[in-house]
Structure 1
């Protein structure tokens, strides 16, 4: 009989390297590894050879950067998604893409299961498995960290390192960098280790080398830099007049933002599984794009459409954070968002300076801002009669006066 096939989400780190070997031995299965190139840069070097040496029968390393930028990052930014007022969802938005491709590979290879190295305490397990449930309910999911035998064998990192050494698995685990990282085109995150203490200062000189995408604001250039972003229907299509793909936009903005120390966030967030966790994030390009998009909307978006969409931002962001990217409610919200963006077109000018993104001008061929109407001087169009405001205020004040009268009578 042919062996069972399992597709493993593989990063080449300590956890997934050990899990690869453990799955092969425990399930007597053929392990196919999958690594998504979503902007990790040199973290992908040598992964294929390492996976094969560790026991993988086949290795997929797929370049998904264009799809990630165009079909995941851009739609999410059109929605103005921001989790708990701070987090631009860099890790959250990558997981449904990874899981989607894993499902595709599993079907193509005839695999009966997919596996991941997410812990039983985090959000990623939910994101991977909800995506699999939505796209391929017939494929089972193996989560070793929720397996009692696995946890008993590996109660800590020391046991995992010893297991790796025993089986000749090359790993790099160092006490000098006790935190964990996750990098992609949109951001890089840092958590665990010394960061588990919310009083620890992540901007301290002692961890200056932790950061990858950005310099500290203190070390950023003393001279500000202007940048212009061109939007068409809510999507950035050019920077400083140069037409770029979504991937090209993200690469360019990451470079500019990193240079000026933009996009660092330190927050304690609420995980879907019920606990609070502390994360530090670098999102240089995303921070610039988010700010520019909002400024473009301010000029071109109808007031009530904007307020309606804004009322749904928290819901949309929570759906992404919790792993419901392929859920019908997120798709329905996206349809509303897409409609809201049809006139979000024009150019935004920003000034970048020592961690700050400062608005420096906005223009659009479909601007809803009319200086003749908004002027404090005489209105040459006579489109707005200030006297009309008297009746407008009187009607809006009516219910307040009635309510006040009721309260006064009670006294």
Structure 2
């Protein structure tokens, strides 16, 4: 029944967020070409963890004790029926939040749009349907790897009672954010006046559409 609250003893990998510590835990995750390469726990005297497996196991531990990683959804099965699923992905939840946030700083807008519109949903279907070792899976995975070349940097996180909260992000090599340009206060940079011509060009199509609709 999708309207029944899951019993507490059903969850095996995470504590109830209500029972999680009252003190938040702060960590920093470093990424190299989209892959996590180091975790620094600033709440535990800057303890460092490296290596893919060790990072995953350590984040599983942190997420578990902070009640992070529960998911209760109704989904569509490959055979055409709907199914309710309750899942626990402790480390995966932390990594996903951090990774997506760093992409916002380092990944080109159009590359991210193309990846999210076409590659990601198709690759999700490939994995869900058990087609990892397929030619389409190989093609899509290569596209994902290409998109991650610039995803280098670190993300600071706060783990607290089921929540993964981003507190900051930075990249020494691939930062596409320019604070001065974004403020529009620098002389010679982007000016709000530059928007006038852009808006006029963008409106040409809409004006033609509106005129045509009046004739119908």
TM-score normalised by the chain length of structure 1: 0.49
2:175 alignment partner in structure 1: 367
1:246 paired to 2:46:
no
- Note the C-alpha offset of 1:217: 0.8
Equivalences for 1:101-140 in 2 at 5 Å?
none
CA offset digits 1:234-287 (Å, max 9, x no partner): 000000172511111110111111111111011121111222222111111100
1:321 paired to 2:128:
yes
1:358 alignment partner in structure 2: 165
Count the aligned residue pairs: 208
Tell me the SS of whatever aligns to 1:367.
coil
Out of 12, 24, 27, the position equivalent to 1:224 is 24
Tell me the SS of whatever aligns to 1:338.
helix
Tell me how far apart the structure 2 counterparts of residues 275 and 406 of structure 1 sit (CA, whole Å): 44
Tell me how far apart the structure 2 counterparts of residues 351 and 258 of structure 1 sit (CA, whole Å): 14
Equivalences for 1:92-103 in 2 at 5 Å?
none
CA offset digits 1:314-341 (Å, max 9, x no partner): 1111111011111111211111111110
1:292 paired to 2:101:
no
- Note the C-alpha offset of 1:215: 0.5
Out of 305, 308, 319, the position equivalent to 2:114 is 308
- Note the C-alpha offset of 1:383: 2.7
Tell me how far apart the structure 2 counterparts of residues 258 and 211 of structure 1 sit (CA, whole Å): 10
Tell me how far apart the structure 1 counterparts of residues 136 and 190 of structure 2 sit (CA, whole Å): 40
1:135 alignment partner in structure 2: none
2:2 alignment partner in structure 1: 198
Tell me how far apart the structure 2 counterparts of residues 267 and 409 of structure 1 sit (CA, whole Å): 47
CA offset digits 1:37-87 (Å, max 9, x no partner): xxxxxxxxxxxxxxxxxxxxxxxxxxxxxxxxxxxxxxxxxxxxxxxxxxx
CA offset digits 1:375-406 (Å, max 9, x no partner): 15x215x2313322111110011000110011
Tell me how far apart the structure 2 counterparts of residues 200 and 384 of structure 1 sit (CA, whole Å): 53
Larger relative contact order, structure 1 or 2 (CA cutoff 8 Å, min sep 6):
2
Equivalences for 1:17-36 in 2 at 5 Å?
none
Tell me the SS of whatever aligns to 1:200.
coil
CA offset digits 1:346-397 (Å, max 9, x no partner): 0101111111111100000110001010015x215x2313322111110011
Tell me how far apart the structure 2 counterparts of residues 331 and 293 of structure 1 sit (CA, whole Å): 22
Tell me how far apart the structure 1 counterparts of residues 147 and 169 of structure 2 sit (CA, whole Å): 19
Tell me the SS of whatever aligns to 2:37.
strand
Tell me the SS of whatever aligns to 2:192.
coil
Tell me the SS of whatever aligns to 2:26.
strand
- Note the C-alpha offset of 1:224: 1.4
Equivalences for 1:10-409 in 2 at 5 Å?
197-202=1-6, 207-240=7-40, 242-312=48-118, 313-365=120-172, 366-376=174-184, 378-380=185-187, 382-409=188-215
- Note the C-alpha offset of 1:209: 2.4
Tell me how far apart the structure 2 counterparts of residues 246 and 403 of structure 1 sit (CA, whole Å): 53
2:43 alignment partner in structure 1: none
- Note the C-alpha offset of 1:290: 0.5
Larger Cα-atom Rg: 1
Tell me how far apart the structure 2 counterparts of residues 209 and 247 of structure 1 sit (CA, whole Å): 27
- Note the C-alpha offset of 1:223: 1.4
